[in-house]
Amino acid sequence: MNIAEILKERQKWFEWKNIKPIKEKLDNFQVNSADYKLNDTIEITTNDNLTPQIKELALMLKPWRKGPFKINDLFIDSEWRSYIKWNSLKPHLNLENKDVLDVGCNNGYYMFRMLEMNPKSITGFDPSALFNLQFDFINKFIKSDIDYKLLGVEHIPYYEKKFDVIFCMGVLYHRRDPIDMLKELKAGLNKGGEVILDTLIIEGNDDVALCPVRYAKMKNVYFIPTVKALYNWIEKAKFSDIQFIGKRYTTTNEQRKTDWIDGESLESFLNKDQTKTIEGYEPPLRCYLKLKY
Ligand SMILES: C[S@@+](CC[C@H](N)C(=O)[O-])C[C@H]1O[C@@H](n2cnc3c(N)ncnc32)[C@H](O)[C@@H]1O
């Protein structure tokens, strides 16, 4: 697989008719100086006289799934309160002087939060041109060295660089072959490295996985395992050790409809009393694991 060729080809995605006008506006958008605070809401302030352009660009960049961000007075209230996941992982992380990859990084919210942990480098992979542009927009203010690539987890084994820590959050259940995906993650690690994995699970003591046609209205969910089945996949991918960080149901406090997305959100994906998905499955439960090389 020739990654340089793939990346060159994918630059054409910025020519798509829904993406091109945003890309052009963003290319002409210059921020001279800005301050930022990496709090739960990533808060940016700038004295540059940019208020109308900031609002126009932020609206063009909808839907904002991950965040929130605040730029001067503009609060980008993303669908997910991403700090809830970040704060639950933070005590388990040591990124000091590490080469870090966030695969499925979306608009880079977590990568921006990582900056305060002094990693040696941060790379993000996500094959979404729109989320890449959201990242570029925020990074116009933050001016970080984070390297965003329009790549997916399947490209990791062929990428020029290996990593000490790979975050892979919210991707596994979207893959048709989860064991292959776990192997791809392992192939991207330096010896002694680790993967921070976040994925959907179902309750149960058997080593089985749910294989739904649709789950919480998502057609691209393939397998949702019990913890026992997930551990079997991880063993087959030949990780040497697994640390269980925790598990948590997603609530409508964490994921909900806001003005910054156009479609529906979790409250419409669950039944009335929020005890089942709309299809009658268990509601979304996630577990967080650390996998050692
Ligand atoms: C459910 S979101 C999770 C986002 C973020 N990691 C989080 O945990 O909040 C899934 C992300 O994976 C990205 N994605 C889609 N295909 C992918 C692939 N082949 N490899 C890696 N990421 C992919 C999507 O664009 C999206 O940003």
Q: Which of 110, 174, 255, 287 to mutate to test the pocket of ligand 1 (most atoms within 8 A of CB)?
A: 174
Backbone angles phi, psi at 195, to 5 degrees: -110, 135
Q: Is residue 2 predicted with pLDDT exceeding 90?
A: yes
Give the CATH fold of the 3-292 domain: Rossmann fold (3.40.50)
Take atom 25 of ligand 1 and give the residue whose Cα is closest: 128
The pair of three-digit structure tokens given for residue 220, joined into one six-digit string: 């691209």
Q: Is the CB of 104 under 6 A from ligand 1?
A: yes
Q: Is the CB of 136 under 6 A from ligand 1?
A: no
pLDDT of residue 47: 84
Instruction: Compute how many other C-beta atoms are within 10 angstroms of the C-beta atom of residue 142.
Output: 18
pLDDT of residue 281: 97
Take atom 2 of ligand 1 and give the residue whose Cα is closest: 170
Query: What is the average pLDDT value for the chain, to the nearest integer?
Result: 97
> Is residue 197 very low, low, confident or very high in pLDDT (cuts 50, 70, 90)?
very high
Take atom 19 of ligand 1 and give the residue whose Cα is closest: 152
Q: Is residue 186 predicted with pLDDT exceeding 80?
A: yes
- Calpha distance 125→102 (Å, rounded): 6
> Is residue 289 very low, low, confident or very high in pLDDT (cuts 50, 70, 90)?
very high
pLDDT digits (tens, 9 = 90+) for 203-213: 999 999 999 99
Strands 121-125, 99-103: pairing is: parallel
pLDDT of residue 1: 82
Give 51 Cα–ligand 1 centroid separation in angstroms: 30
Q: Largest alpha-carbon pair distance within the chain? A: 59
pLDDT of residue 169: 98
Q: Which of 3, 10, 88, 171 to mutate to test the pocket of ligand 1 (most atoms within 8 A of CB)?
A: 171
Residue with tokens 């020029």: 160
Take atom 18 of ligand 1 and give the residue whose Cα is closest: 152
Query: Which residues have C-beta within 8 Å of that of residue 215, sequence separation ≥ 6?
Result: 173, 200, 221, 224, 277, 279, 281
Average pLDDT over residues 142-151: 98
Average pLDDT over residues 21-48: 95
Q: Is residue 48 predicted with pLDDT exceeding 80?
A: no
pLDDT digits (tens, 9 = 90+) for 103-130: 999 999 999 999 999 999 999 999 999 9
pLDDT of residue 201: 98
User: Residue 224's closest CA among 242, 212, 239, 236?
Assistant: 212
Instruction: Judge whether 144 and 119 are in contact, CB under 8 Å.
Output: no
pLDDT digits (tens, 9 = 90+) for 220-236: 999 999 999 999 999 99
pLDDT of residue 76: 98
Give the chain's radius of gyration (CA, Å). 19
pLDDT digits (tens, 9 = 90+) for 65-101: 999 999 999 999 999 999 999 999 999 999 999 999 9
> Is residue 149 very low, low, confident or very high in pLDDT (cuts 50, 70, 90)?
very high
Q: Show contacts of 20-24: CB within 8 Å, 24+ apart.
A: 21/60, 22/57, 22/60, 22/61, 22/130, 22/133, 23/133
Atom of ligand 1 minimally distant from the CA of 66: 9
User: Residue 187's closest CA among 152, 151, 161?
Assistant: 161
* Percent of the chain's residues with pLDDT above 70: 100
